[in-house]
Amino acid sequence: MEKIMDLHKENEEKPLAGVKVGFAVTGSHCTLKEAVKAMEEVKKAGAEIMPIISFSVKNEDTKFGRAEFWREKIEGICGGSLIDSIVLAEPIGPQRLLDVLLIAPCSGNTMAKLALGISDSPVLMAAKAHLRNQKPLVLAISTNDGLGANAKNLGLLLNTKNVYMVPFGQDNPKEKASSLLSDMKRIPSALAEALAGRQLQPVLLQY
């Protein structure tokens, strides 16, 4: 009985135990730190993580860190090689490699291309390949034009089958009225809900 109780406790502490999660990172560089923290929490929750990065994360040095630093950090957490090319991302679909795919942060550029069916990066190809299997895609958006030019694309994705959102809100409405940012701390819960075919609620947050 004690062993059964210990197993139940372990399952509660690791709600994503054994789940194969694709964790895709795009070039909203200002939120990479929060995304990497969320990656660590997803790992602690028991998930097996396949790390996927966009070309900008792979190659661009910014004031938020050198590309090499972020590559090594992500590889260290996940314990596996990065999916950093379109060729490496394509087998995700036919080989059914993932249970759920998360894009965090999901930049405005990535969100727009997703809505239009464009797959010209490792992350976008991973999303296309994964969705063909009718499995959940979860977006943690980070974009300065979510209520501007990208609002129509957000609307399309909100109404797309098998696409779920990490709850988001206006992170700085006074200075950046069109900016939207997902709460990265809610990623593990959003993944668990998406795997059950549900959208984590509420979707809209007030920061």
Pick from 189, 117, 98, 118: which is nearest to 160 by CA?
117
The yes-or-no verdict on residue 38 having pLDDT over 50 is yes
E strand segments, the chain: 20-25, 48-53, 100-107, 137-143, 163-165, 168-169, 180-182, 204-205
The yes-or-no verdict on residue 3 having pLDDT over 70 is no
Q: What is the pLDDT of residues 156-178, one digit of tens each?
A: 999 999 999 999 999 999 999 99
pTM of the model: 0.92
Average pLDDT over the chain, rounded to an integer: 94
Q: What is the pLDDT of residues 117-136, one digit of tens each?
A: 999 999 999 999 999 999 99
Which residues are within 8 A (CB) of 72 and not within 5 positions of it... i.e. 6 or more apart? none
pLDDT at position 170 is: 97
Token readout for 82 is 């990065």
Classify 135 as helix, strand or coil: coil
Question: Are the CB atoms for 52 and 83 separated by under 8 Å?
Answer: yes
pLDDT at position 80 is: 82
The yes-or-no verdict on residue 64 having pLDDT over 60 is yes
* 166, burial (CB in 10 Å: exposed 0-12, middle 13-18, buried 19+): buried
